[in-house]
Structure 1
Amino acid sequence: MMRTPRSYLFVPGIMPERFAKATGSGADAIILDLEDAVGPGAKSEARDHVVAWFGRGGRGLVRVNAADTPWFQDDLAALSRCDISAVMVPKATPDSLSAVAEKLPGRALIGLIETAEGLAALRRSATCPGVSRLAFGNLDFSADTRIPGTGPVLDPARFEIVLASRLAGLVPPVDGVTTELRDGGVLAEEVARSRRLGFGAKLCIHPAQVAFTNDGFTPSEGEVAWARRVLSALSAADGSVVQVDGKMVDKPLIDRARQVLADTGRGPP
């Protein structure tokens, strides 16, 4: 079973020597970045490196420049010649997502919600053609909305992204980056909080963050064992009311048990 990505690792498009290393980092997906990680004078060179990478059979997705920049159309023109399956759209709005879908038909789009405008139009963006997942650009969102901080203070926005994803039938969204690189405990706690909020993945800015992210979004052995007990008891009960661990099991818990096993890529018992 193909696992829905839990970790997305950014790689600067201007550093082609890191592309192959990123694919071996353990990240479920890599994002070749043409936007924030590339200065204005290096946009064309970075674009050439990314096109060459895909020409050699490389894999990954690409974050293009925003629709209101002078590099947006050139990015789309270059990627139209590449065999890529997904594009991350920054400052996502219905208009920018539609523009990418028109120029790059058939590619899956990840809408990066990182402005007040993007959040206000969130539910329309989630249903735009081609959109497969939403992601939260917490750093840019904090700057755009003038809200100090990028953690729990932005959880109301996170909730809206989770809700919009569910209403649109999308997979759980991707939470934004953690800037702490050295303290794994900080990252582990942020991943755990993201998962509790309903996110299914996280953006990473360093390979050292990947393992913590993958572990945090993978159900624990205890969760898996509970899910198996629930579904085994349900099967044995043949439709009758059933108790597991001293608790009544109803449909929400059964659905949760099935989702836990789906998140691990394991089938029912």
Structure 2
Amino acid sequence: MTHPNETAAGIGRITLPLFVPGDRPERFAKAVAAGADAVIVDLEDAVAPAAKEAARAGLAEALAPLLRPARVLVRVNAGGTPWHAADLAACAGIAGLAGIVLPKAETAGDCARVTDATGLPVIALIESARGLANAGEVAGASTRLAFGSIDFAADLGMAHEREVLRPARFALAMAARLAGQSGPIDGVTTALRDEEAIIGDCRHAVDMGFAGKLLIHPAQIAPARRGFAPSEAECEWAQRVLAAVEGGAAAVAVDGAMVDAPVIARARQILARAGSAAG
């Protein structure tokens, strides 16, 4: 987790970022040490309105010893709230901060204002019907998309269930691909220690073209990594595919099925996921 010079490419490599409340600085170092790909210091939902000013005021000092060895982002309060502008100003003054997580992102302008104010990459959280409707333009103005699935379901009055949210996840994966981004980061699993639920949600995210997941507790890191890692059978299949085409053949058969360019690309993606999970 050594990223002294964070770039948009660095944001694209994040798979499992872990939230930590912005008003609990004593937890920041523990969050970094937990082993997630990045830490998101949360000034929004995790901090009560009465505590927001104090959390913001102490942010730079609390983060100073962590920024060089770790990738740290800040989730600011949404545009239109009384805290948004001050959050951006505070983040702009923190050298080494990796980026901003912007909640309730709904337009390209929302993202552009954050970039202009901070000079930092933006992960845009899609959490509303309007945000999803404008996902293409939001993707074009941000570095990465993320899905605030719980807020999104509440905005539309729908159940927070995989099948219900499948069209939304598909739309976000499409928007990210068309913008040339890495796959989106999926929303949280509220079960803190239910490994089966966490692994299942991560595997569903992979199936939907997502490339990461927001985490809310260190206990979720290990099962999430297992959920994003391909199975041993998938890796063995991918290795057989690449071995079969090593000589340059355009189309061959592996396990009785034709292998051509799209299948080869899939095999490479699986092995890349395996490498990411191992690293």
TM-score (norm 1): 0.92
Give the AA of the match of 2:196: G
- Find the counterpart in structure 1 of residue 174 from structure 2: 163
Deviation of 1:56 after TM superposition, in Å, equals 2.6
- For 2:138 and 2:227, the matched residues in 1 are separated by 28
Corresponding residue to 1:110 among 123, 127, 130: 123
Residue in 2 that maps onto 1:72: 84
In the alignment, is the contact (CA less than 8 A) between 1:3 and 1:263 conserved in 2? no
Unpaired runs of 5+ residues, structure 1, are none
Alignment of 1:200-215 (within 5 A): 200-215=211-226
Q: Which amino acid aligns with 1:147?
A: M
User: Is 1:15 paired with 2:20?
Assistant: no
Structure 1 distance, partners of 2:187, 2:66, is 28
Residues 25/95 of structure 1: CA separation in 2 closer, same or farther (3 Å cut): same
Report matched runs for 1:244-263 at 5 Å.
244-263=254-273
Partner of 1:89: 102
> Deviation at 1:3?
8.6
Given the superposition, is the C-alpha separation of residues 224 and 8 from structure 1 closer, same or farther in structure 2, using an over 3 Å criterion? same
Cα distance in 2, alignment partners of residues 142 and 55 from structure 1: 37
- Structure 1 moving runs of 4+ over 6 Å: none
| Alignment length (residue pairs) | 262
Q: Classify the secondary structure of the residue corresponding to 1:61.
A: strand
Structure 1 residues 146 and 3 mapped into 2: Cα distance closer, same or farther (>3 Å)? closer
Once the two structures are TM-superposed, the CA of residue 224 in structure 1 deviates from its matched residue by 2.1
- TM, length-normalised to structure 2: 0.89
Cα distance per residue 1:123-159 (max 9 Å; x no partner): 011101xx22100001111111111324331221111
Instruction: Single out whichever of 4-13 and 222-231 deviates more from structure 2.
Output: 222-231
Structure 1 pair 240/101, CA: closer, same or farther in 2 (3 Å)?
closer
Q: Aligned to 2:245, what secondary structure does the other structure show? A: helix
Question: CA-atom RMSD, angstroms?
Answer: 1.8
State the Cα distance separating 1:102 from its structure 2 match: 0.9
Q: Where do 5+ consecutive residues of structure 2 fail to align?
A: 1-9
Shift of 1:33: 0.2
Partner of 2:48: 39
Measure how far apart 1:85 and its partner are. Answer: 1.9
What residue in structure 2 maps to residue 187 of structure 1?
Answer: 198
Q: Report the CA distance shift for 1:148/1:220 in structure 2 as closer, same or farther (over 3 A).
A: closer
CA separation of 1:13/1:240 partners in 2, compared to 1, >3 Å: closer, same or farther? closer
AA aligned to 2:109 is D
Alignment partners' CA distance in 1, 2:250 and 2:164 = 45
Cα pair 1:64 1:75 within 8 Å, conserved: yes
Name the SS for the 1:226 alignment partner. Answer: helix
Q: 2:14 aligns with which of 5, 23, 39?
A: 5
3-state SS, counterpart of residue 243 of structure 1: strand
Which range moved further: 30-39 or 49-58? 49-58
Offset at residue 223 of structure 1 (A): 2.1
Deviation at residue 172 of structure 1 after TM alignment: 0.7
Paired amino acid for 1:248: M
Cα offset for 1:240? 4.6
For the Cα contact (< 8 Å) 2:92–2:118, is it kept in 1?
yes
CA contact (8 A) 1:13 1:49 kept: no
> SS of the residue aligned with 2:272?
helix
Q: Which runs of structure 2 are paired with 1:121-132 in the superposition (5 Å)?
A: 121-128=134-141, 131-132=142-143
Percent identity of equivalent pairs: 47
Q: What letter corresponds to residue 265 of structure 2 in structure 1?
A: D
* 8 Å contact from structure 1 (residues 34, 43) kept in 2: yes
Q: Quote the Cα distance in structure 1 between the aligned partners of 2:116 and 2:12.
A: 28
